[in-house]
Amino acid sequence: MDAAYIKEITEYITLGAGVTLKIFAVTLAFSIPLGVFGAIGKLSRFRLIHFLLGVYTWVFRGTPLLLQLFFTYYGLAILTDGRVSFEPELAAYITFVLNYTAYFIEIFRAGIQSIGRGQYEAAKALGMPPRLTMRRIILPQAVKIILPPMGNEAINLIKDTALCSVITVTEILRNASRVMSRDFNVTALVIAAIIYLALTFVVILAFRNLETRYAYYTIK
């Protein structure tokens, strides 16, 4: 095994990192705002909305992400005789957004509920409407509380993208598996592991910086 071989397979595996990062970015870009709105809906007084969101979060948090990927990519096509089918990468986007939205709904709900009623009453006494109260008073404080669990979910998201290899998405693990099968050599898997570790390290640093930024909301 020489440096040229390692360079060659590293470049090939790194191509999959681009797809991994796209899935990561698209999932966070959609699931975080959807999670906020879902959490607010789950805390609303409308029983039907509360019930539907409860069923949604129960289903997507209570079934394996791998099963959901299979259902989106294979199951829908079978059930509809091919009328509803998605390309592998699009199926990954849809599944990951739906799955992570369910988790973020519960994370945001818990964060919002942790803010004392006195905050709402103080804002009401100042004449602030409910929407403004939520945006300027409640959510900034809730963000500080939910950053640690959100950071954990972001790390899980980086690792969960490896599941997309089962529906032929050419991400990091699939490219590494191809090299391993071709050369019967585990070096590709070691390189893939290093790439995953590097990506998760960046995510950890990003969320630590966010926690520091929101630390001023701590009541001393």
pLDDT value at residue 1: 62
25-77, pLDDT tens digit by residue?
A: 999 999 999 999 999 899 888 889 999 999 999 999 999 999 999 999 999 99
pTM (2 d.p.):
0.89
Pair 45, 68: CB distance under 8 Å = no
Q: For the chain, list residues with pLDDT below 70.
A: 1, 216-220
Count of domains observed in the chain: 1
Spatial separation of the C-alpha atoms in residues 26 and 40, rounded to whole Å:
22
Pair 157, 104: CB distance under 8 Å = no
pLDDT value at residue 26: 97
Domain ranges, residue 60: 3-217
Read off the CATH number of the domain in which 195 is found: 1.10.3720.10
pLDDT value at residue 68: 97
Q: Which two tokens stand for residue 150?
A: 């959100």
Strand, coil or helix: what is 43? coil
Distances (CA, A) of 106 to 25, 54, 76, 192, 200: 20, 10, 27, 32, 23
